[in-house]
Amino acid sequence: MPLVIRLDAELESGLRALSAEQNMPQAEIVRSLIRERLAQRKGGKSAFEIARAMGVIGIDRDPRRDVAKQHSKYVKAALRGKRPA
């Protein structure tokens, strides 16, 4: 369903910047934000809340320096409820 909305200059600028940062079309960002808001309204958790609960958010404070290279290993371990040694 097509929908036309008017954004003020601040929202337009912010949406453009977010689109460039995430290399994602503006329409997809808007759809994603609407989905998140609807999930919150239903009492569901957003992707950020789920990641934070899994311990993925803030992992960069960890003393391990291979997190970027070994991210899959750490995410899988978090999903299994384990903490890698």
Convert the pLDDT of each residue in 23-37 to its tens digit. 999 999 999 888 888
Q: What residue has token string 């200059």? A: 9
Confidence of residue 64 (pLDDT cuts 50, 70, 90): low
SS3 label, residue 64: coil
- pTM, full prediction: 0.49
Say if CB 7 and CB 15 are below 8 A apart. Answer: yes
Say if CB 29 and CB 22 are below 8 A apart. Answer: yes
Convert the pLDDT of each residue in 16-25 to its tens digit. 999 999 999 9
Confidence of residue 7 (pLDDT cuts 50, 70, 90): very high
